[in-house]
Structure 1
């Protein structure tokens, strides 16, 4: 799997996981964390277009980390 394929796969996984979050009530600052995760996921596409794969991968990885924190709090992982 090349870098582009890996990043695209991670974007798909993020989309799947963000849908899971839509069904729960977010508490306190969790909404902010989810919004930050979405912003990082969007940044991933920007950096892919610029062919900056290292930054794109960093963005999607960070987006997953933020989202996973919220998913963990709510017992989804």
Structure 2
């Protein structure tokens, strides 16, 4: 999955679960080691640990994205 695909997935989940739009970027960050993801208040982007994609199932990835979207709202 590319960063663009991750952003598209994040936007779909924002609409599906929260009926809101998420106009910012989501991207993978290989430097994340102890967390699934992070939300950045400064510019509102979301970073996801790529291990969420390779070591866990899609349900876990979706859960992490939803959790980070909660921080946005």
TM band (smaller chain): 0.3 to 0.5
Structure 2 length normalisation: TM-score? 0.38
Larger radius of gyration: 1
- Larger proportion of strand: 2
Q: TM-score, normalised by structure 1?
A: 0.37
Q: Which has the higher contact order (CA 8 A, sep 6+)?
A: 1
**Which structure shows the bigger proportion of residues in helix conformation?**
1
